[in-house]
Structure 1
Amino acid sequence: MWNTNNMGNKLKHIGVLTSGGDAPGMNAAIRAVVRACTHYNIKVSGISEGYQGLIDNELRGMDARSVAHIINRGGTILKSARCQNFRTKEGRQKAHENLKKNNIDALVVIGGDGSFTGASIFSSEFNIPVIGVPGTIDNDIYGTDFTIGYDTALNCVVEAMDRIRDTATSHNRLFFIECMGRDSGFIALNAGIAGGATEILIPEDNKSIDDLVDKLKSSRASNKTSNIVLVAEGDQLGDTFKLAEKTEKLLPEYSIRVSVLGHIQRGGNPSCADRVLASRLGVSAVEQLLAGHSGIMVGVQNSSVTTVSLHDAISRKPGIDTDLVHVADIVSL
């Protein structure tokens, strides 16, 4: 429990919004923010559809009961949207006017790096206290070991791999499975190890099609009965369907199929880990504001809640774990 004697007494009303792509656990984070505000006797308003709702003045008061029974739900009850208008000074000015109209003193923004970029600019322009909460399945935010939604997305990919492997084994087929990861391979690398992929293709690892073919030849020579290649959507070898076609031409003995998991990775009930993480970070966001802090993101490192500046969260990227790449190469024999 925080020492409330150290908290500022000027904070009376907090706004909370979700922005960018939805992630399982966002509702748990909203719930934690609202109930932390209730605990500390602070008024809280939910802002619909991210920054667009702030511009359109789509706000509603929330209390502990209004967030009942949402911790287990995927998506976001506040809804989310990408807002081009907020990229303009005029749009942000209108958003600021609505904050003043509703007497909102500070914001909690749940989202990814794009959301944090908007929050950082908005905060500096109008001197509005802002705390970021990392909600994105990609886990590509600097300053936290895990982002809200990542664990659930991982479990979704691994479950899909397990199901597809049944078909791959039954028909001696090679499957290319594409998972999300436009700019990072965190999902593909970890799910690939857990799901027993023969090869994992991620943006951070410059594997060529020759490397892939050599690995598949070796696998076939060792009498492996099923093969799965897990591909992050942003891998440098390009379109997964075209990659599968090239591979089939080079290895005609394989019957190749492609499965794109797409947006099913975003949906579904959040895992226990994501619910707990979201709860911890939502409460911490409110307490950071009460302590007079702004322009930071709350995260978790080495099992402890920590903070990092929004600038660092935006401008720096977490590196891929090279030890895991090494492990993947060994266990995929």
Structure 2
Amino acid sequence: MKKIAILTSGGDSQGMNSAIRAVVRTGLAHGYEMIGVKRGYKGLMENDFITLGTKDVSDILYRGGTFLQSARSEEFKTDAGQNKAVNNLKEQGIDYLVVIGGDGSYRGAQALAKKGIKTYGLPGTIDNDIPLTDYTIGFDTTLNVVQDAISNLRDTMSSHERVSVIEVMGRNCGDIALQAGISSGVDAVLIPEYTYDITAIANQLSQGFERGKTHSIVMVAEGVGTAEEVAALIKEHSKLDTRPTVLGHIQRGGTPTAFDRLFTSRMGHKVIELIQENVTNVALGMQKNEITYHTFDDIFAAKNAVDNKLYQIFEDLV
């Protein structure tokens, strides 16, 4: 009986658990022995393995985070750390490794692939910053979390006639800020992919209040700057009562949406199909509603880019 190991690495994202469940249950249905690795690459180096059965992944479909837990490891970035992980996998008789995580996790999977381990990647990050996939695990859920937070802030900002500057995650990708901004009808979006004029934004907000608006909301992607910095500049230029809010790690929490549950279920099932077809060392994703896969080399050679059409839509709707 061949063995498949699965780990989650880096920052957690809603839907990781449903991805684990899909890989495990599909693997068991096709006769594989399923192994969980606790605490990501750190656990891989420390031989922290557990056997996973159907019951072990029950009732995790709707839970955020990752029950396998995650950790960051500087040691794994070294050749010695990677060799330790490879030796542990071989000693355990593990034939395949499924890695759920973002850019750093993919680089770890690529390194193991070059050392002879058959690896597979699932894009587990709320940032939506992995190339060659339209969505990453947890992104849709995060949009809903941010949208709800904006709705709550809008209520209190209206009561006090204030400007709210909301900082969201995304690293150097502006997808969370842009797409949540469109769906929430905010007044301005600051993202790393586009330059902005803070004076023009402040003037725009002032004109809105002069027309009778009772609140304004500005979205700031963390790759641009902090909410505190932007709020201070807007207040300086507009003299409006401006308050910063950093949503922080609340964006990674909550039960995954139906989209994320279905997305991860489809990818988890596809991983087992690829194993059976002897397709190895690839990462999965979704493009035009189809589950696709690309080599790690192709992914790192590609550039992730914000959807320019969406940015145009936002500007026309403001």
Moved more, 208-217 or 243-252: 208-217
Does 1:17 pair with 2:7?
A: yes
Aligned equivalent of 2:238:
251
Aligned equivalent of 1:102:
92
Residue 176 of structure 1 is aligned with which of 158, 162, 165?
165
Aligned equivalent of 1:199:
188
Residue 53 of structure 1 is aligned with which of 19, 40, 43?
43
Aligned equivalent of 2:145:
156
- AA in 2 matched with 1:85: E
Aligned equivalent of 1:4:
none
Aligned equivalent of 1:242:
229
TM-score, structure 1 normalization: 0.93
- TM superposition shift of 1:283: 1.2
Output one character per residue of 1:276-297: Cα deviation in whole Å (capped at 9) or x when no partner.
Answer: 1111111111221221111211
Aligned equivalent of 2:80:
90
User: Retained in 1: the 8 A contact 2:164–2:217?
Assistant: yes
Distance across 2 between alignment mates of 1:244 and 1:223 = 21
- TM superposition shift of 1:269: 0.7
Aligned equivalent of 2:55:
65
User: Retained in 1: the 8 A contact 2:165–2:227?
Assistant: yes
- AA in 2 matched with 1:279: S
User: Retained in 2: the 8 A contact 1:32–1:278?
Assistant: yes
- TM superposition shift of 1:240: 2.1
User: Retained in 2: the 8 A contact 1:15–1:46?
Assistant: yes
- AA in 2 matched with 1:21: G
Output one character per residue of 1:143-173: Cα deviation in whole Å (capped at 9) or x when no partner.
Answer: 1111110000000000000010001111110
Number of aligned pairs? 318
User: Retained in 2: the 8 A contact 1:116–1:314?
Assistant: no
* 3-state SS of 2:155 partner: helix
Aligned equivalent of 2:296:
310
Quote the RMSD (CA, aligned, Å): 1.2
Does 1:327 pair with 2:313?
A: yes
- Show the 5 A alignment for 1:163-312: 163-235=152-224, 238-252=225-239, 254-312=240-298
Distance across 2 between alignment mates of 1:141 and 1:97 = 29
- AA in 2 matched with 1:99: L
- AA in 2 matched with 1:246: L
Aligned equivalent of 1:7:
none
Gaps of 5+ in 2: none
Output one character per residue of 1:185-229: Cα deviation in whole Å (capped at 9) or x when no partner.
Answer: 001000001111100111101112123223223323432221000
Distance across 2 between alignment mates of 1:205 and 1:312 = 26
User: Retained in 1: the 8 A contact 2:8–2:68?
Assistant: yes
User: Retained in 1: the 8 A contact 2:129–2:170?
Assistant: no
User: Retained in 2: the 8 A contact 1:113–1:313?
Assistant: no
Distance across 1 between alignment mates of 2:161 and 2:88 = 60
User: Retained in 1: the 8 A contact 2:199–2:237?
Assistant: no
- AA in 2 matched with 1:329: E
User: Retained in 2: the 8 A contact 1:131–1:289?
Assistant: no
Distance across 1 between alignment mates of 2:274 and 2:208 = 52
* 3-state SS of 1:44 partner: strand
* 3-state SS of 1:153 partner: helix
* 3-state SS of 2:163 partner: strand
Output one character per residue of 1:119-161: Cα deviation in whole Å (capped at 9) or x when no partner.
Answer: 1011112x11111011110111111111110000000000000
* 3-state SS of 1:265 partner: helix
Distance across 2 between alignment mates of 1:278 and 1:106 = 19
TM-score, structure 2 normalization: 0.97
Residue 74 of structure 1 is aligned with which of 64, 79, 89?
64
Does 1:32 pair with 2:18?
A: no
- TM superposition shift of 1:25: 0.3
* 3-state SS of 1:78 partner: coil
Output one character per residue of 1:71-97: Cα deviation in whole Å (capped at 9) or x when no partner.
Answer: 000000100111111111111111111
- TM superposition shift of 1:39: 0.8
Distance across 1 between alignment mates of 2:144 and 2:101 = 20
- Show the 5 A alignment for 1:123-134: 123-125=113-115, 127-134=116-123
Tell me the percent identity. Answer: 42
User: Retained in 1: the 8 A contact 2:8–2:70?
Assistant: yes
Distance across 1 between alignment mates of 2:223 and 2:270 = 33
Distance across 1 between alignment mates of 2:6 and 2:101 = 11
* 3-state SS of 1:215 partner: helix
- TM superposition shift of 1:183: 0.6
User: Retained in 2: the 8 A contact 1:140–1:317?
Assistant: no
